[in-house]
Amino acid sequence: MKFYALTSILLFGFIINRAIRRTNKHENDIMQEFLDREEEANNTPLKSTDDLQPITIGDSLPINIPLKDPSGASLQKTLNSLKSREIINLTYLSNTEVKLTYGTANMERLGNADANYIVMQRSLKKLYALYDAEGYTDEAIALREFELNTGGTDLEAYKYLKEHYFKQNDINSMMTLLKNAEKNTDDRVYNFADSIRKSLELMEIMNGAQNE
């Protein structure tokens, strides 16, 4: 009986040891693959960035509405300062992918442009919340639309605009919202496209019935 117990323990230890060795090998392989890819990225020559689309904060965007909340002035100052800076959405790429695609020499410039994009998105989100709270509904909607049209992934903004467009019977804007959701890199937003599509179909049915 003791012999069988000892054999079972040894066998169990052997299995565990094999499993650990396989796990360690897998982790080592992943790490080596990452290091090889990073080395390749660090040696990638300068490449064209002509396919990238810089974002411009135009003067028509209502970012300077006077607000009672003192935090609004800081957000507006930040957004105004970004007007003179390069803004590019690269949130869908890792640093390694940026270097492989556009070359190591472009990394600092594109990294700064991407950082500006993230600051812009965060500032827009906070500012439109203040606009909404103080009754500047049209201006809040304009900021939300700009955020999503430039690749924003805020699901709540998508929900807000979907409800607004449905109430306003704004089919064209709903179609634009759907296109943005369908090409969004955030899975939650991409899946929400189905809800937008259903609302759009219902709007088209209702409009068709009214025209009969």
Q: What is the DSSP letter of 103?
A: -
Q: How confident is the model over 47-104, as pLDDT tens digits?
A: 899 999 999 999 999 999 999 999 999 999 999 999 999 999 999 888 889 998 999 8
Tokens of 6: 């000892």
What CA–CA distance (Å, rounded) separates 190 from 108?
Answer: 30
Phi-psi region of 103 (alpha: psi -120 to 50; beta: other; left: phi over 0): left
The structure tokens 């390749």 sit at 40
d(CA 76, CA 55): 17
Q: What is the pLDDT of residues 118-172, one digit of tens each?
A: 999 999 999 999 999 999 999 999 999 999 999 999 999 999 999 999 999 999 9
The pLDDT of residue 195: 96
- Is 0.85 topped by the overall pTM? no
